[in-house]
Amino acid sequence: MKKIFQLISWVALVLLVSAPALFYVEKITLETNKALLLAATIIWFASALCWMGREKESE
């Protein structure tokens, strides 16, 4: 399960980088970029909360 959450977190981080990059190369609008950033933010916090703290606790 942890691996799945980690994968989702990585996807969120990739989205966080790609949304501004896509806006830079004019593939998406500023509004779409903002929506993607918000989605990536929600996904990141939701998924990272499921493994980041717990990883440390198990150590």
Partner 1 sequence: MAEDKQEKHGEFEREPVPASKTRGLKAFVGMYAGEHCAGTELMIGPLFVAAGVSAFDVVGGLLLGNLLAVLSWMFLCAPIAVRARLTLYYQLEKICGRHLVTLYNLANGVMFCFLAGSMITVSATALGVWFNFPMPGLNDLLPNSTGWVLSVLAVGALISVVAAWGYDMVSKVANIAAPWMVLVFLGFGIIGLRQFIEATGAEVNSLSSLWELCKNAVWKGGEPLSGQVKFTFWHVTFFAWFCNMAMHVGMADLSVFRFAKKSWHSCAAASGMYVGHFMAWLAASILYALQLHLDPANTDVLPGPLAYRAAGVAGLICVIVAGWTTANPTIYRAGLAFQAIMPKVSRFKVTICTGLLATVAGLFPGIAMKLLGFVALYGLILMPMGAVVFTDFWIFPKLGMQPYYAEHKSLKINWAAGIAWIATLVICVALVKSGNPLLQLYFVALPGWFIAAALYIGLSKMQQKGDA
**11 burial via Cβ count (<10 Å: 0-12, 13-18, 19+):** middle
> Half-sphere exposure (CA, 13 Å, Cβ side) for 5?
13
Tracing tokens 């501004």 back to the chain, one arrives at 20
Q: Does 44 bind partner 1 (CB under 8 A)?
A: yes
Query: What residues between 5 and 34 interact with partner 1 by CB under 8 A?
Result: 12-13, 16-17, 19-21, 23-24, 26, 30-31, 33-34
Footprint of partner 1 (CB under 8 A): 12-13, 16-17, 19-21, 23-24, 26, 30-31, 33-35, 37-38, 40-41, 44-45, 48-49, 52-53, 56
